[in-house]
Amino acid sequence: MSEKKPSVLEGFKAFLMRGNVVDLAVAVVIGAAFTNIVNSVVKGIINPLVGTIAVVYFLMVLPMSKYLARMEARRKAKEGTHEIIEVTELEVLKEIRDALVAQRGSGHDGR
């Protein structure tokens, strides 16, 4: 009746050799390596790209669009004042023409 008790070392070895534990260990190692790869890609490519886009937008695109909007508003304001002046000049010229026609009498055909 000498049954041999499994030693602690043999029991631990049997536990480790089960499929689930080995798969879990491999998954942890692969996950750690993949985390480093993802962090390197994000720090090396994605962050500089996003930073460049924000810098270009805020330092070049946004000020240029505001500048162009201001220039367009000034141009419209100038065109608006010119139209008003042209309309008033035209009205004044019509009044002068009418006054000259009235001075010459009804013999003029109104050209």
Q: In the prediction, which pLDDT does 18 show?
A: 75
Residue 73: pLDDT over 70: yes
Among 7-21, 34-48, 69-83, the minimum mean pLDDT is found in 7-21
Helix (H, G, I), strand (E, B) or coil at 68: helix
Tell me the C-alpha to C-alpha distance, in Å, between residue 39 and each of 15, 46, 49, 53: 34, 10, 15, 20
Residues 49-82: b if buried by 16+ CB within 10 A, e if exposed: eeeeeeeeeeeeeeeeeeeeeeeeeeeeeeeeee
CA-based nearest residue to 56, from 46, 68, 45, 48: 48
Instruction: Tell me if the pTM is above 0.95.
Output: no
Give alpha helix (H) positions in the chain: 8-16, 19-41, 47-56, 62-104
Q: In the prediction, which pLDDT does 78 show?
A: 83
pLDDT band at 1 (very low <50, low <70, confident <90, very high): low
- Average pLDDT in the 5-20 region? 78
Mean model confidence pLDDT for the chain: 84
pLDDT band at 2 (very low <50, low <70, confident <90, very high): low
- Average pLDDT in the 96-100 region? 93
